[in-house]
Amino acid sequence: MHSFNALVLAAGYGTRLRPLTLSIPKCLVQINGKPLLELWLNNLEQSGCENAYVNTHYLRNDVAQFLKQRKRKRMLVQEIYEDELLGTAGTLMKNQDLLKGSTCVMLHSDNATDFNVSELVKAHLARPKHCELTMLTFTTNNPESCGIVETDENNIVHRFHEKEKDPPSDRANGAVYVFETSFIRQLNKSRDKIKDFSTQVIPKMLGKIYAWHTSSAFIDIGTPERLEKARKIWGLLYIRQRAIKYWF
């Protein structure tokens, strides 16, 4: 199993989930009895992650307390606090020194899924040589609310549509990325102040992004309706798993 480091984005306000997120950060909203952040940290650790850096801002003390009380395992988990939100790409640029010299996974902790991160890392290591970035994609039922990708026969992204009306497909960007130090060097060459990954980075990397598609369920926990859907999906899976263990 290939080792890597991870940047876990967990600083957002979760405004669309209010009033729930008035008192709890979105990354600590629970699916099947476990916080989203815990589900991701477990996935990362089981996939070979050595160091996970979690950025915080909104209700920072709650997240910091959760990380402090979390049972320490092999993977080192470190909080990186932002006194003001830097944006997805801004957070990466500020903390790039923590990630240099290793394969890196960057993800949003407010998505629910059960795909194995190690499979994405494995696909990244086998990517076409000219690709600097590997992107997780999934099939969405709401393409207008997602970043939609178009790929060629080699799964290389050549077009990207960020939350457009009537996008050309249902293959969506899962906002889980894998890259090497060389990718960070590319970003450092930009003369612009990079803040947003979807609008400022991806469009400039077209033709150099390898897309790996998962068949697993993948839900952005952005609204109460999506949260309820995720709870139903993984609640049913949990019941089935318990039944299998009971009978066998």
Residue 243 confidence (pLDDT): 36
Query: 170 near 144, Cβ under 8 Å?
Result: no
Residue 241 confidence (pLDDT): 42
- Rounded to whole angstroms, the Cα distance separating 229 from 207 reads 34
Tokens of 2: 């290939």
Number of neighbours of residue 64 by Cβ within 10 angstroms: 14
Residue 247 confidence (pLDDT): 42
CA atoms within 13 A on the CB side of 49: 31
Residue 240 confidence (pLDDT): 40
Q: What is the pLDDT along the chain (248 residues), one digit of tens a residue?
A: 789 999 999 999 988 888 888 999 999 999 988 999 999 999 999 999 999 999 999 999 999 999 999 887 789 999 999 999 999 999 999 999 999 889 999 999 999 998 999 999 999 999 999 999 999 999 998 888 889 999 999 999 999 998 888 888 899 999 999 999 999 998 998 877 889 999 999 999 999 999 999 999 899 888 888 889 889 888 744 434 443 333 44
Query: 13 near 58, Cβ under 8 Å?
Result: yes
Residue 179 confidence (pLDDT): 97
